[in-house]
A = this chain, B = another copy of it.
Amino acid sequence: MAVWKKHVRMVTPYVPGEQPNQPRMIKLNTNENPYPPSPRVEEALWQMDAHRLRLYPDPGAAELVEALARRYQVGADQVFVGVGSDDVLALSFLTFFNSEKPILFPDITYSFYDVWAELYRIPYVTKPLNPSFCLVKEDYFGENGGIVLANPNAPTGIAEELSVLREILDHNRDVIVIVDEAYIDFGGESAVSLIAEYDNLLVVQTFSKSRSLAGIRIGYALGQPELIRCLRDVKYSFNSYTMNLAAIQIGAAAVEDEQYFRETTEKIIATRERVKGELGALGFSFPDSRSNFIFATHPRLPARELFEALREEHIYVRFFDKPRIRDYLRITIGTDQEMDIFLAFVRDYSAKRL
């Protein structure tokens, strides 16, 4: 073995969710939005000046940052933008989780938290959710090196009340608490309203779900100016120019179309509630999702088998071969038509199997 291989950072490679590309597939596996982005995104693409691409983009991405600041009624110095919320979260781990004490997060949650902790050698302890997959708030009251909570949680879809987050924050004034709100726009209560009160709260959101822009990679963090300044300092130590001109201009255009945003998120919520009813009638059970997916289980239909049967029909959902959740499927909410095809297949499948 070459000696250099001894000094390579060894990681367990994270395997990204399958990105199938079939002509007539129904893709309900990576929580993308079934609706296109705002028409203003198309306009922004058309208006983009190719000649300007020869120049470096604005390192501060001011156009996008200011659009977000207006939308969330905070200062431009309270907004940090990155290449998807994964970029923002990974950088936040690197920036804020440097104590010797372990950081805390639930045993069932977004599968990147332990990957980042291992990458940066951050000690961590996972706290089991209760049997209904709810947070046990008292688990977060002891000493720790920081906390990260997805709310709504993934892949359960459960949204905790703001009062629960507030209690956790009150017990943790000495560490950074990150609330990852990737799915907040589908019915949860955002912790952005708590930012003014807690100087140690960082709220992270994304353009990938509710703004239909997974393809342009934008995430952002909101917090008090001092937190944002820390993030910017570390980011500038890496790469001054992470947001390309297309992301800056398209992102700003999307944020400004509040009406389209409300219409599409409401449509998805309405579809979700209808699908809940139909899945319930078929004997499935699921936590009460406030996200753009449903995490469903059936007492007599094994999840893996249903997952594979759907896959053969080019209907893709997500199956996690992990403790506690391998009886569940995570089903992204698509258009009404897509969900009808999905439900028809499941109805047929369960009629044959039960």
Main SS of the interface on chain A?
loop
**Which of the listed residues A30, A86, A217 has the most CB atoms from chain B within 10 Å of its own CB?**
A217
Instruction: Give residues of chain A (84-118) contacting chain B, Cβ–Cβ below 8 Å.
Output: 84, 86-87, 90, 94-99, 115-116, 118
Considering only CB atoms and an 8 Å cut-off, how many residues of chain A contact the other chain? Answer: 86
**Is the beta-carbon distance between A212 and B53 smaller than 8 angstroms?**
yes
Q: Which of B4, B37, B54, B236 contacts A37, CB < 8 Å?
A: B54
Q: How many copies does the complex hold?
A: 2
Instruction: Give residues of chain A (140-162) contacting chain B, Cβ–Cβ below 8 Å.
Output: 145-146
Q: Indicate whether A163 reaches chain B with its CB closer than 8 angstroms.
A: no
Q: How far is the CA of A50 from the CA of B214 in the complex (A)?
A: 11
Q: Which of A13-21, A127-135, A299-307, A341-349 contacts B (4 or more CB under 8 A)?
A: A13-21
Q: Indicate whether A282 reaches chain B with its CB closer than 8 angstroms.
A: no
A 27-41 binary contact with B (CB < 8 Å = 1; else 0): 100101111110001
**Is the beta-carbon distance between A53 and B99 smaller than 8 angstroms?**
no
Q: How far is the CA of A245 from the CA of B45 in the complex (A)?
A: 12
Q: Indicate whether A7 reaches chain B with its CB closer than 8 angstroms.
A: yes
CB neighbours (8 Å) of A35 from chain B are: 54
CB neighbours (8 Å) of A200 from chain B are: 2, 4
Tell whether A234 pairs with B4 under 8 Å between CB atoms, given A56-B208, A216-B244: no
**Is the beta-carbon distance between B173 and A2 smaller than 8 angstroms?**
yes
**Which of the listed residues A33, A213, A234, A238 has the most CB atoms from chain B within 10 Å of its own CB?**
A238
**Is the beta-carbon distance between B237 and A14 smaller than 8 angstroms?**
yes
**Is the beta-carbon distance between B244 and A247 smaller than 8 angstroms?**
yes
A110 to chain B, nearest CB (A): 13
CB neighbours (8 Å) of A3 from chain B are: 173-175
**Is the beta-carbon distance between B87 and A239 smaller than 8 angstroms?**
yes
**Is the beta-carbon distance between B37 and A83 smaller than 8 angstroms?**
no
A317 to chain B, nearest CB (A): 16
**Is the beta-carbon distance between B53 and A215 smaller than 8 angstroms?**
yes
**Which of the listed residues A54, A232, A234 has the most CB atoms from chain B within 10 Å of its own CB?**
A54
A30 to chain B, nearest CB (A): 6
**Is the beta-carbon distance between B8 and A216 smaller than 8 angstroms?**
no
Q: Which of B14, B34, B56, B230 contacts A215, CB < 8 Å?
A: B56
- In the complex, the chain B residue whose C-beta lies closest to that of A176 is B4
CB neighbours (8 Å) of A34 from chain B are: 54
**Which of the listed residues A200, A236, A246, A247 has the most CB atoms from chain B within 10 Å of its own CB?**
A246
A selection of 7 A-B contacts at a CB cut-off of 8 Å is A13-B236, A13-B237, A45-B45, A52-B215, A53-B216, A56-B208, A217-B242
A binding-site residues for B, Cβ under 8 Å: 2-9, 11-16, 19, 27, 30, 32-37, 41-42, 45-46, 48, 50-59, 83-84, 86-87, 90, 94-99, 115-116, 118-119, 145-146, 173-176, 199-200, 208, 212-217, 226, 230, 232-234, 236-247, 250
For the complex of A and B, 5 pairs with smallest distance between CB atoms: A3-B174, A246-B246, A16-B240, A53-B215, A42-B50
